[in-house]
Chains A and B, each alone.
Chain A
Amino acid sequence: MLKTIVRKELQENLYSYRFPLFALICFLLVPLGLYVNNLNYIKSVRDYNEQMRLADEAVASIKMQDVMAGKVSIKGFRPPALLSIFSQGFESALPRFYEFTPDGYMPGESSSGEASILSVQGKIDFVFLIQMVLSLVGLLFASDVIAGEKESGTLRAMLSNSLPRDTILVGKITGGYLALWFPFLIAFVLGVVLLLVRAFPLFVGDTQARVLSVFLAASLFMLIYFAIGSMISSSSSKTRTSLIVILLVWVSFQLVIPRVSDMIADIIYPIRTETQVSLEKSLLAKSVDTETSRELGRQYVLIYGNEVSSGRGDKETPEDVKWNAVKTEIESNARERKAHQIKQIDDAYGQEKRIRQNIATNLSLLSPSAAFARLLADVCGTGEIARRKYGEAVRDHARALDASLFSRAKRTVIALPGGHTSLSFSMQPIDVKALPKFTIAPASLAEAFKEDWASLLSLAFWLIAPFAAAYVRFLKYDVR
């Protein structure tokens, strides 16, 4: 009996105008979106490689004097995420590189900088298509799952037979969903084929697993919206009413809840901007430096007396030895202190950001659309996790660079009592080739799922609850 209903449902959809319309949209949008985003990705990879090459050349030609003069800065580039083809996420909002200087680090511009002109209309990636377009289609096609049959009287015809209501409901939802899923499957495969044509490394690493996850998540997402649409349909007697309710629900889920949750998070828990924090850090660095040079000045006077000797002979006097030891100790203490305090600021700010992010995320998860988008972004390496790892990598790299480069060729300012300043140079060998490379530790797929458990929960809820609701409503549905 169930099979009969499913078959009937599939046939009915096939014969109506909906199926070819939906198939058209799918075949048009999905492969096109993937293909175009792939082109963009390839271009950004080319740009990235080029910029890395230029940066490496710059590093190779670093001269000691420049380091001492504080004129050297090193750029650390973030490689474009392969799966940004599917989900843009933060990809274009994140800075393409960070610039590391003796005073700290600064974000470079994001890739949205140049391409922004063309993106004033907004962007479409695969996730966007699923979220905005296919969700709407799913809702719409589900709108007359029940109400339509009631309107046309066929529901009564069915129910005058020995047919339990739940069979009807399950059969209709299954059949209706399959009529959507098959074209989507084909379109997705088509899109992946187009990617493979352009040398998409599908079989490298866990890319396969991720792409499969994307497909499953998208299928689940469409099912959720179909279920929600079915629930609304089994709560109203007219297709028109259910359509209107569906649209309002859609707008709420897609547009209102995600944005409002960010706003509420901002009201409950406002935080400082990144610019403010980096200013704080550089002020701190400067004050530590000033203090250090004063301290050095005091020690200098203690050791050498009050004469300011600018040139020293080749021989190392015992004072020289003492001075070097003291200087090294003071400088390393200062460095540690500075690193420690900067880390404190970073940690505190990181904490702030995390809390606010959690509030916004948890609120937004009321919408299955938001849950889906966040989950997929993390699966594709362009989400919250990627952003956090980028920040961690930047901080780690700053520390590493400081130890292996900036602190080795330093020009220290000594503030002598009496208001004079003197320069002291410390030089340790720098192995330009051995400088640490900027790397971002990638997050595994398992990590993504683990962290986004709340999203998974939200999706599971929105799958089960509408079904249950549809079931309950339909059991009592007035078929007359």
Chain B
Amino acid sequence: MAKQVSMLKADDLSKRYEDGVLALDHLNLGVRPGEVYCLLGANGAGKTTTINLFLNFIPPTTGTCYIKGIDVTKDPLEAKKYVSFVSENVMLYGNFTARQNLEFFAKLGGKTNLAKEQYYQVMRRVSLQEKAFEQRVKTYSKGMRQKLGISIAIIKDAPAVLLDEPTAGLDPKAAEEFLEILGELKNEGKAILMSTHDIFRAKEIGDRVGIMKEGRLVMERTREELQYEDLVKIYIDYMKSEPLTA
């Protein structure tokens, strides 16, 4: 396979917060088109910080994030055209229906002038119940909300997708359905970066898996490599070992 340029790239990324905490320590990371990269780690390991840096929600202390080769801090508006975001707990406008939320965010994502049927199609694709399309989102269960979140990402049709613990709190069936959709997006050639706690699913869906500990990417394995190693054991060993900063 020819070496493709990374769609999402973190280059020597570090972040130290005002209170002195070093949340990221020289992170180097790249996600190629058609690749799913799963970021594993304990709470506070730096997964969410990484995603926040990619979205320019906070500025890096050193290093750079690139989306499609564009420096996110230098030209955020341009960079954000090429990324979709699904948060851990998708909270939308509760008084709006699913379709209204979808419509609003589609417009923000640059997709104006879509017909209602097109919205419905996307929602069907994520297996959202038909009758829920025009129901207010505040009545939705978590699973339904996450599905709506991914449909927003689908409709934007950006080449990169960032997900922050998208299956946390979902029942097994809903999580399975969610990951199926993710698989489809990967096959469409999107670059997907997903942070998660779920070791098992990470193994299933991830083309590459990275483990973060105290702000550092301490291990990275491809799917092939993981065929021969027990990810669960590796992960737990890392978690149990001595802290990196003495």
Direct touching of A and B (C-beta under 8 Å): yes
Interface residues, chain A, with chain B CB atoms under 8 Å away: 1, 4, 8, 11-12, 15-16, 152-154, 156-164, 478-480
The answer, yes or no, to whether B135 is at the interface (CB within 8 Å) is no
Tell me if B77 and A160 are in contact (CB < 8 A).
no
A357 to chain B, nearest CB (A): 49
Question: Which residues on A sit within 8 Å (CB–CB) of B189?
Answer: none
| Cα–Cα distance between A143 and B222 once the two chains are bound (Å) | 48
Tell me if A1 and B108 are in contact (CB < 8 A).
yes
Question: Which residues on A sit within 8 Å (CB–CB) of B28?
Answer: none
| Cα–Cα distance between A163 and B104 once the two chains are bound (Å) | 13
Knowing that A157-B90, A160-B83 are A-B contacts, what are 4 other residue pairs whose CB atoms are under 8 Å apart, sorted by A's residue number?
A8-B93, A152-B93, A161-B105, A163-B77
When the two chains form the complex, which single residue of A4, A153, A162, A479 contacts B104, counting CB atoms closer than 8 Å? A4
Tell me if A12 and B108 are in contact (CB < 8 A).
no
- Kindly report which residue of chain B lies nearest to residue A160, judged by CB atoms: B85
Tell me if B93 and A154 are in contact (CB < 8 A).
yes
A-B contact count (CB 8 A): 69
When the two chains form the complex, which single residue of A11, A152, A162, A480 contacts B52, counting CB atoms closer than 8 Å? A480
| Cα–Cα distance between A429 and B52 once the two chains are bound (Å) | 95
| Cα–Cα distance between A160 and B83 once the two chains are bound (Å) | 8
| Cα–Cα distance between A152 and B90 once the two chains are bound (Å) | 9
Interface residues, chain B, with chain A CB atoms under 8 Å away: 48, 52, 55, 57-58, 77-78, 80-81, 83-85, 87, 89-96, 100, 104-105, 107-110, 152, 156, 162
In the assembled complex, 10 residue pairs joining A and B whose CB atoms fall closer than 8 Å, in A order, are A4-B107, A11-B100, A15-B95, A152-B92, A152-B93, A160-B83, A162-B77, A163-B80, A478-B58, A480-B48
Question: Which residues on B sit within 8 Å (CB–CB) of A156?
Answer: 55, 57, 85, 87
Q: A11-B96, A12-B95, A16-B95 are in contact. Are A159 and B55 (CB under 8 A)?
A: yes
Question: Which residues on B sit within 8 Å (CB–CB) of A158?
Answer: 105, 108
Question: Which residues on B sit within 8 Å (CB–CB) of A159?
Answer: 55, 57
Question: Which residues on A sit within 8 Å (CB–CB) of B48?
Answer: 480
| Cα–Cα distance between A164 and B100 once the two chains are bound (Å) | 22
Question: Which residues on B sit within 8 Å (CB–CB) of A478?
Answer: 57-58
A152 to chain B, nearest CB (A): 5
A179 to chain B, nearest CB (A): 13
Q: A11-B96, A16-B95, A161-B108 are in contact. Are A153 and B87 (CB under 8 A)?
A: yes
- Kindly report which residue of chain A lies nearest to residue B78, judged by CB atoms: A162
Question: Which residues on B sit within 8 Å (CB–CB) of A154?
Answer: 91-93
- Kindly report which residue of chain A lies nearest to residue B94, judged by CB atoms: A152
Question: Which residues on A sit within 8 Å (CB–CB) of B81?
Answer: 162
B203 to chain A, nearest CB (A): 27
Tell me if A153 and B77 are in contact (CB < 8 A).
no
Question: Which residues on A sit within 8 Å (CB–CB) of B57?
Answer: 156, 159, 478-480
Tell me if B80 and A164 are in contact (CB < 8 A).
no
Question: Which residues on A sit within 8 Å (CB–CB) of B92?
Answer: 152, 154, 157
Question: Which residues on A sit within 8 Å (CB–CB) of B107?
Answer: 1, 4
When the two chains form the complex, which single residue of B58, B85, B95 contacts A157, counting CB atoms closer than 8 Å? B85
- Kindly report which residue of chain B lies nearest to residue A164, judged by CB atoms: B77
A102 to chain B, nearest CB (A): 74
Tell me if A161 and B80 are in contact (CB < 8 A).
yes
- Kindly report which residue of chain B lies nearest to residue A151, judged by CB atoms: B91
- Kindly report which residue of chain B lies nearest to residue A153, judged by CB atoms: B91
A411 to chain B, nearest CB (A): 83
Tell me if B104 and A8 are in contact (CB < 8 A).
yes
- Kindly report which residue of chain A lies nearest to residue B48, judged by CB atoms: A480
| Cα–Cα distance between A11 and B101 once the two chains are bound (Å) | 11
| Cα–Cα distance between A159 and B108 once the two chains are bound (Å) | 9
| Cα–Cα distance between A157 and B52 once the two chains are bound (Å) | 12
A178 to chain B, nearest CB (A): 17
Tell me if B109 and A12 are in contact (CB < 8 A).
no
- Kindly report which residue of chain A lies nearest to residue B95, judged by CB atoms: A15
Question: Which residues on A sit within 8 Å (CB–CB) of B52?
Answer: 480
Tell me if A157 and B78 are in contact (CB < 8 A).
no
| Cα–Cα distance between A157 and B84 once the two chains are bound (Å) | 9
Question: Which residues on B sit within 8 Å (CB–CB) of A479?
Answer: 57
| Cα–Cα distance between A8 and B58 once the two chains are bound (Å) | 26
| Cα–Cα distance between A154 and B96 once the two chains are bound (Å) | 12
The 10 closest A-B pairs by CB, nearest first: A160-B85, A15-B95, A153-B91, A161-B108, A162-B80, A162-B81, A152-B91, A4-B107, A162-B77, A8-B104
A147 to chain B, nearest CB (A): 14
| Cα–Cα distance between A56 and B152 once the two chains are bound (Å) | 80
Question: Which residues on B sit within 8 Å (CB–CB) of A157?
Answer: 85, 87, 90, 92, 105, 152
Question: Which residues on A sit within 8 Å (CB–CB) of B91?
Answer: 152-154
When the two chains form the complex, which single residue of A1, A4, A8, A160 contacts B80, counting CB atoms closer than 8 Å? A160
| Cα–Cα distance between A1 and B104 once the two chains are bound (Å) | 10
Question: Which residues on A sit within 8 Å (CB–CB) of B105?
Answer: 157-158, 161
Question: Which residues on B sit within 8 Å (CB–CB) of A162?
Answer: 77-78, 80-81, 109-110
| Cα–Cα distance between A148 and B77 once the two chains are bound (Å) | 23
